[in-house]
A = this chain, B = another copy of it.
Amino acid sequence: MVGKQKMEDRVNGEGSAPLYLRVRDRLANQIQDGLLPPNTRLPSERILAEEHGTTRVTTRLALAQLEAEGRIYRSNRRGWFVSPPRLVYNPTRDYSFSDNVSAQGRVPVTETLRVTPTEVDAWLATMTGLAIGDPIVRLRRRRQIDGRPVMVENIYLNPKRLPGIDTFDFNRSLWKLLREHYSVELERKQIEMFPTALVDPQAEALGVTAGTAGLYVTRCCRDAQDCFVELDEEFWLHDTLSIQVSVG
Contact = CB atoms under 8 A, between A and B. Distances in A.
Interface of A: 21, 57, 64-65, 68-70, 86, 92, 186-197, 199, 210-215, 238-239, 241-248
Q: Is the interface of A mostly helix, strand, loop or mixed?
A: strand
A104 B123 CA distance: 22
A244 B68 contact: no
A69 B194 contact: no
A188 B248 contact: yes
The 7 A-B pairs with the shortest beta carbon distances in the complex, nearest first, are A68-B197, A195-B238, A69-B197, A195-B195, A194-B242, A65-B211, A188-B248
Contact of A247 (B21, B68, B189, B211): B189
Contacts of A196: 68-70, 238
Contacts of A86: 194
B191 A245 contact: yes
Contacts of A243: 191-194
Contacts of A191: 243-247
